[in-house]
């Protein structure tokens, strides 16, 4: 079980994290076993935060941005040195530019048509969003027809109670937002939340 070559398939989504707290929050996540972290672009000064994290952690973890909507944002993200680009939607121009710049593109999709279009544009990972309400049977049906080299990450409604089930039934990874970080959470609270999710993986 791995995602992007990392042993832990959880993407920690730090929506609205502030630059001044980002390093200590991420250190708490890394200590808990989280290796993939995204800062959505609807956070305060997101590119500054991402660049700060890249400079601190280097390649020891995978860092990137979420809510990437435009080609200009793709180019600004690439300039930070981050490697992961996540979107809530599929935009072919955004995916293609991200791939051109060497980023891992994970666009948001909901239907088979969107998945195949994203694959054609160069994505090899897609974010099923909002995925939590679709159910395991929908994921299994998708995995029966999508290319074998494409991974589906579930985002939306992921928590300690269902993370194990998603991964056991074919998800390549999961994205955790409020179940791992809410604006204002201390590093202690984040560490506790992360421990719950990682423990759920360890209990497989």
* 100-149: pLDDT as tens digits: 999 999 999 999 999 999 999 999 999 999 888 888 999 999 999 999 99
Bridge pairing between strands 151-155 and 173-176: parallel
- Mind giving me the DSSP string for 8-75? --EEEE-TT--HHHHHHHHHHHHHHT--EEEEETTSSSHHHHHHHHHHHHTTSSEEEEES--SHHHHH
- Mind giving me the DSSP string for 138-161? HHHHHHTTS-TT-EEEEESS--TT
Looking at residue 108, its pLDDT comes to 97
Domain covering 10-202 in this structure, CATH number = 3.20.20.70
Catalytic residue among 35, 51, 127, 193: 127
Determine contact, residues 22/184, Cβ cutoff 8 Å.
no
Is 21 an annotated catalytic residue? no
Looking at residue 202, its pLDDT comes to 77
* 112/50 Cα distance (integer angstroms): 32
Q: Which two tokens stand for residue 83?
A: 């490697």
Q: Which of 187, 204, 202 is nearest to 12 (CA)?
A: 187
Looking at residue 26, its pLDDT comes to 98
**41 has a pLDDT exceeding 80:** yes
Which CB contacts under 8 angstroms, 24+ apart, belong to 89-93?
A: 90/114, 90/117, 90/118, 90/121, 90/126, 92/117, 92/121
Tell me the average pLDDT across 59-88: 98
By CB atoms closer than 10 A (0-12, 13-18, 19+), residue 122 is: middle
Looking at residue 44, its pLDDT comes to 97
Looking at residue 30, its pLDDT comes to 98
Catalytic residue among 35, 38, 73, 193: 38
DSSP 8-state class, residue 132: T
CA atoms within 13 A on the CB side of 42: 8
* Percent of the chain scoring above 90 in pLDDT: 94
- Please report which confidence band the pLDDT of residue 33 belongs to, taking 50, 70 and 90 as the band edges: very high
Q: Which of 203, 173, 187, 196 is nearest to 35 (CA)?
A: 173
Is 193 an annotated catalytic residue? no
Residue 130: Cβ within 10 Å count: 14
Task: Return mean pLDDT, the chain.
Answer: 95
């Amino acid at each position: 079980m791995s995602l992007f070559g990392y042993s832990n398939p959880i993407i920690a989504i730090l929506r609205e994290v502030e630059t001044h707290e980002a390093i200590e929050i991420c250190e708490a996540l890394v200590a808990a076993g989280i290796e993939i972290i995204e800062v959505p672009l609807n956070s305060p000064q997101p590119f500054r935060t991402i660049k700060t994290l890249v400079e601190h952690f280097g390649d020891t973890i995978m860092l990137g941005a979420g809510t990437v909507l435009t080609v200009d944002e793709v180019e600004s993200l690439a300039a930070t040195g981050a490697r992961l680009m996540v979107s809530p939607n599929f935009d072919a121009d955004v995916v293609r530019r991200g791939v051109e710049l060497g980023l891992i593109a994970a666009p948001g999709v909901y239907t088979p048509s969107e998945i195949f279009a994203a694959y054609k544009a160069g994505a090899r990972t897609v974010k099923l969003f909002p995925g939590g309400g679709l159910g395991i049977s929908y994921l299994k049906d998708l995995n029966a027809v999508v290319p074998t080299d494409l991974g589906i990450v579930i985002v939306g409604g992921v928590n300690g109670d269902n993370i194990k089930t998603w991964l056991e039934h074919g998800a390549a990874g999961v994205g955790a937002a409020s179940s791992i970080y809410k604006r204002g959470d201390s590093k202690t609270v984040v560490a506790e939340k992360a421990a719950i999710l990682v423990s759920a993986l360890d209990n497989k």
